[in-house]
Amino acid sequence: MTWRDEMTWCDGCGVEITWGPVVIGGQHYCCQDCAEGVTCSCGERMELDEDLRDPGAETTPAFTGYMS
């Protein structure tokens, strides 16, 4: 695990861990797949989360009420 400015990085794939890591033998992993050496999709998930948080991203209009 690499700590930099209080950020945690996965020892398997290198993705930033912003949730509770899987810890095995003192190593920190983003998920069980990564801990087992299997390709994970945490990086892709994080990119989707970032896109959803982007204020310039398109969003679905808020529900304003029922039509009568």
For 1-28, the pLDDT digits (tens) are: 554 557 899 999 999 998 999 999 999 9
Phi, psi for 7 (deg, rounded to 5): -105, 145
Domain coordinates in residue numbering, the chain: 2-53
- According to the model, what pLDDT value does residue 6 have? 75
Q: Is the pLDDT of residue 59 over 60?
A: no
- Please write the tens of the pLDDT for every residue from 44-58: 877 766 666 666 655
**pTM: predicted TM-score of the whole model, two decimal places:** 0.61
Instruction: Give yes or no for a contact between 32 and 13, defined as CB atoms under 8 angstroms apart.
Output: no
65 against 35, higher pLDDT: 35
